[in-house]
Structure 1
């Protein structure tokens, strides 16, 4: 990261940060994408099982990773304020916290997995696949959290190409693992959707090991000596990160979990409907990695400028990100509309599943517009370390507006299962509007504050 003086310089720097993050996020989600696509080609029951498993796994994993994302604005502001000496200990305590959270999540999952699945009206094979998909993917939960913590540290230094390099190595290996364990190739057992969980766990261990090795040996990370001067865990340091990370994590959890809640509500419909819903949501989520990447880049850029008390520059980055997100939403909408049949057939060739998937994709065109506007706003606010208000905004928008309206539309109108997707559109739109208002207020408040100093 470095100071910029013109809009052209800002666009150049922002692009240099964003493009590797974008490739990294798309590649990371591509693992889930290939899990879903390859499981679907193993059978509709396998796809539905992975859908249910993912609906439980993704909110938890992304929520915890959101908590760990606190390291990005903290490190970015330390670097912006030229306070590099406090960076290593901040990262070490973050690693301790990642391990602790991984253990807690594993214990809770062990106790609650069967009771939760038993509450759902699932076919026997779908329940079996969902259960063991979650058990196998859980083997890699601690290395996944460690990797994401260290990746946020790497990105906060502006070294986003490193994260891209690691994921580009891991992605083809993840596909190969999927091919082995889903379809029983190269001497591996044929496990269907459960094999996708094994493949993901192996990949998490792999990327964690590579990331630790790079931080240990490669400059500028090696200069911080993160793995050479271990200290004891500090509850106070954990609390400092959690004060920022918990609101971030819950904000992400509320947004992601509404999709998972919809998937769980879908369990009352046919296996084909569940499979079609999962296929459409999976591809739409793949596109969402673009505005999510913009959000991550904004957290770094805005955090750096705020740390240096250059509030006008931080504001410029914020609006750059919003404009980029809206432009991408327009392009993505045309892609979904023009290639709905081809997208549907990626997941399953059953004519009924394909037709249902195309219907769901139509609704995805609209809610991804709200996502593309709202995600950069969240990223910008994280750069300001303004996370508590956005937490409440997310709760109200997604769970008190979006989900109830979706349930009403699904059960009391002719929309049927598509009513839940209408609820997603309503909730995401409400969230985006309130986030914009919060960002506008905060920017003006800080401009006034620093104008008087």
Structure 2
């Protein structure tokens, strides 16, 4: 029985011990996209714009896959907290069947998504290169979905070092292959954006293989080893995980698609705005991996506490995690504001792109606090196996506010009665994104407080 006395320092250490290997792994994973943008940025503005547009489409579906597969984190965490280890292998096997369905659907959607380029009035060479980038990257989607299923299983049994090691290996492979195929070193053809796509797609399959090998040889997996025998799909289990995971996927889609839609809308203003936007967004996404990783760790901590039947510890873990994320958000805001010129120069040598990028990075600095808060609060809520409310909040915040506000400020449509005299272009869209993140942070924090207090009250009444 819980004594309801918990140490903040103990919870911080426990969350950090769980999160830091995943943090390194997440940064390495996002670093692959950073490497793609940074390396093509030193080839030409055309190659950079092609990768930027391709990534804006591909990343929306990729992140939706991550969210949809995240159900296994919550389910396994609850089983581990309840010491029900015998059920974990079955859950993992069914999660892999789910991954096959999700991965194939993602592959199809990724290929269909290139049709949006036909409506953006792109330069023909950019249109062609961006389309090839998306088509090639789609080949890695099934592997990535399966990798995320095993990733969630690994994290939820408190084994996060494998995630870190495999992700670092994936980043090194990506950089090396980009060096070969983007620039044409060692006699290889200089493929530019297409080379980035080949590197990324093949890297996804190699990361899945590496994870399978690690699970096969790792001692920590013996108690819950999922590959002892063949198991056909069990549709009630798969549907249960889909009901839990699809709202998470939609939640991720709501935020990332808003940013991606902005990338596509900014493209009409030319190569310089879309390149500057993508650089600022790419770096902000890299920084976002820290609070996001805290959030993944919070799912495990909150889920295991609830599996143990201790809602007081679950509530405590939730607020400590939110506090850690908020503290990092403050530090990252200060860092981005101070070093924005250095960040822009690291990505591109184009002076016009640098100047606009510096302005957009100031907006990125402003929304660090709200972004860190909303991802931590939503992750804690998922630890309670509640996913629909965060989904609705994200849809309202980003599609109900961010995009409409961004279009009004960025495009200055004449039909809207309250529009600026001149379009604010990329800056206007970033104002809208900042407002949407703030709305999401406030509403999600309120939902978390209400949910955590209700579970404690229900436990006390029981």
Find the counterpart in structure 2 of residue 400 from structure 1.
400
* Structure 1 residue ranges (4+ consecutive) displaced by more than 6 angstroms after TM superposition: none
Query: How many residues are paired up?
Result: 450
Matches within 5 A, 1:295-310: 295-310=295-310
- Determine if the alignment matches structure 1 residue 190 to structure 2 residue 199: no
Shift in Å, 1:169: 2.0
Q: Which residue is 1:76 aligned to?
A: 77
Structure 1, gaps ≥5 residues long: none
For residues 137-192 of structure 1, the C-alpha deviation after alignment (integer angstroms, 9 at most, x for no partner) is 11211111111110110000011112112112222111101111111112321111
Task: Give the secondary-structure state (helix, strand or coil) at the position aligned to 1:220.
Answer: helix
Instruction: Quote how far apart the aligned CAs of 1:331 are.
Output: 1.2
2:255 paired residue number: 255
1:32 counterpart residue number: 33
For residue 378 of structure 1, report the CA deviation from its aligned partner: 1.0
Counterpart check, 1:425 vs 2:434: yes
Following superposition, the deviation at residue 225 of structure 1 comes to 3.3
| Post-superposition offset of 1:421 | 0.2
SS in 2 for 1:363: helix
Counterpart in the other structure of 1:233: 233
Distance, in Å, in 2 between the alignment partners of 1:327 and 1:107 is: 40
Structure 1 residues 100-109 or 129-138, which shifts more? 100-109
3-state SS of paired residue (1:183): coil
Other-structure match for 2:56: 55
Alignment of 1:387 with 2:387, yes or no, is yes
Maintained 8 Å contact 2:85/2:223: no
**Cα contact 1:341–1:354 (8 A) shared by 2:** yes
Give yes or no for contact 1:216–1:226 (8 Å, CA) kept in 2. Answer: no
Residues 1:245 and 1:167: Cα distance change in structure 2 (over 3 Å)? same
Report 1:46-445 matches (<5 A): 46-110=47-111, 112-410=112-410, 411=412, 412-413=419-420, 414=422, 415-445=424-454
Q: CA–CA distance in 1 between the matches of 2:396 and 2:333? A: 27
Tell me the alpha carbon deviations over residues 252-296 of structure 1, each in whole angstroms, 9 at most, x when there is no partner. 110111100100111210111111111111111111111111111
CA contact (8 A) 1:40 1:47 kept: yes
Distance in 2, Cα, partners of 1:161 & 1:114 = 36
SS of 2:254's equivalent?
Answer: helix
CA offsets per residue over residues 5-30 of structure 1, 9 Å max, x none?
53332222111101111111111111
- Which residue is equivalent to 2:415? none
Equivalent pair of 1:409/1:416 in contact (CA under 8 Å): yes
Is the 8 Å Cα contact of residues 6 and 316 (structure 2) preserved in structure 1? no
Deviations, residues 355-401 of structure 1 (Å, cap 9, x unaligned) = 11111111111122210111100110111111111111111111001
Q: Identify which range, 98-107 or 208-217, moves more after superposition.
A: 98-107
- Shift in Å at residue 113 of structure 1? 4.0
Q: CA separation in 2, counterparts of 1:250 and 1:335?
A: 31
**Residues 1:217 and 1:134: Cα distance change in structure 2 (over 3 Å):** same
Contact 1:258 1:399 in 2 (8 A): yes
Q: CA deviation at 1:245?
A: 0.2
What is the distance in 2 between the residues matched to 1:376 and 1:236?
30
Q: TM-score, with normalisation over the residues of structure 2?
A: 0.95
RMSD value, Cα: 1.4
Provide the C-alpha distance between the structure 1 equivalents of 2:40 and 2:144, rounded to a whole number of angstroms: 22
- In 2, are the aligned partners of 1:42 and 1:193 still within 8 Å (CA)? no
Give the 3 Å change call, closer, same or farther, for CA 113–14 of structure 1 in structure 2.
closer
Partner Cα separation in structure 2 for residue 187 and residue 398 of structure 1: 46
Q: What pairs up with 1:8-27 in 2 under 5 angstroms?
A: 8-27=9-28
Q: In structure 2, list runs of 5 or more residues that go unmatched.
A: 413-418
Distance across 2 between alignment mates of 1:106 and 1:10: 40
Q: Deviations over 1:412-453 (max 9, x none)?
A: 324332110000001111011110110011011111100011
